[in-house]
Amino acid sequence: MKTWFDGRWSENAPAPLLAHALHYGTGVFEGIRCYLAARGPALFRLDDHLERFANGARRLAMKLDLEAIRQACLDAVVENGLEEAYIRPIAFYGTGALGLDLAPLTLHVAVAALPWNSHLGARAAQFGVSACVSERRRNDARAIPPLKLTGAYVNSVLAKLEATRAGFDEALFVDDRGLVCEATGENVFMVRAGRVTAARHPDALPGITRRTLIELSGADEREIPLEELLQADEAFLTGTSAEVTPLAQLGDRRYGVGRVTRELQQAYAAAVRSGPDRWLSPAREEAHAK
Ligand code: PMP
């Protein structure tokens, strides 16, 4: 697998052992999908992902060449001969010091592309996943902004670990007021009496799949108390990787997989492969490497 690392393509791009990001989580990343569309492999909402990436980079005082990173995302698909793929850009601080001041540190940028594999498993789309309500709180946006900063993901990893140890697939973060925040790597929706609602919460990542689903379904967005989610007819999770994954079970509450969720799964699957065009960046047409 060829990775773009600091401006070059290489088969083996090692990060230094004393990389600041490894020790303190000072990196920012994205997860982008490429689907086989009519015009060949196309990256879905590439510029929206890059905008969120840029927001995270700005918080960490990183100056990045976003045009070069955009090009590398497209080229990574073509360089590796991929069709359906997952693209992972990451910018992170390297070496120079082990203090917390960023100024002396080297900055690295990489883009990797992997053949696609669903992180929740192929069965998840069909049968849905189970989640527990996590005992843990989501990173408060006043402590760590809800962006894809690498260090922030320890919060998700701990919740996911505890959930899987308890026999669930996923964990749902709920705040001190009992409001639904998000899952460890997905946003949350519910369906009640045919009406689709996206959970809104200041500590949740502004998901691009969430935004897509709101557009496709005409969902409203508002705070959702856990009690209300438990009474919903259907619930589902959204993410670049998870796409539209039915939430089949939350704690003891079993929803199964509902009709509206199925329809939205299909609508999303159609959108990622056939547009609108403004959401698709065809890799072969835009790539440098041909
Ligand atoms: N929340 C978290 C914590 C995530 O990591 C993700 C995945 N990026 C999402 C929600 C969904 O965001 P998106 O739809 O942009 O992938």
| CA 116 to the chain's CA centroid | 14
pTM exceeds 0.75 for this model: yes
32 CB less than 6 Å from ligand 1?
no
The residue ranges of the chain whose pLDDT is under 50 are: 290
Contact 79, 5 (CB under 8 A): no
pLDDT of residue 282: 96
Angstrom distance (rounded) from CA 59 to CA 139: 16
Angstrom distance (rounded) from CA 180 to CA 227: 9
| 177 phi, psi to nearest 5 deg | -90, 0
- Report the length, in residues, of the chain: 290
State the closest ligand 1 atom to the C-alpha of 48, by its place in the atom list counted from 1: 15
Measured at the CA of 88, the angle between CA 197 and CA 135, to 5 degrees, comes to 50
Q: Which amino acid is at 224?
A: I
pLDDT of residue 187: 98
211 CB less than 6 Å from ligand 1?
no
pLDDT of residue 287: 79
31 CB less than 6 Å from ligand 1?
yes
pLDDT of residue 290: 46
pLDDT of residue 32: 98
State the closest ligand 1 atom to the C-alpha of 205, by its place in the atom list counted from 1: 1
Task: Determine the residue of 201, 205, 208 to mutate for testing ligand 1's pocket, defined as the one with the most ligand atoms within 8 A of the Cβ atom.
Answer: 205
Angstrom distance (rounded) from CA 210 to CA 111: 24
210 CB less than 6 Å from ligand 1?
yes
94 CB less than 6 Å from ligand 1?
no
Identify the active-site residue in 2, 148, 160, 290: 148
State the closest ligand 1 atom to the C-alpha of 184, by its place in the atom list counted from 1: 3
**What is the whole-number distance in angstroms between the Cα of residue 236 and the centre of ligand 1?**
13
75 CB less than 6 Å from ligand 1?
no
Question: Is 290 one of the catalytic residues?
Answer: no
pLDDT of residue 13: 83
Contact 236, 213 (CB under 8 A): no
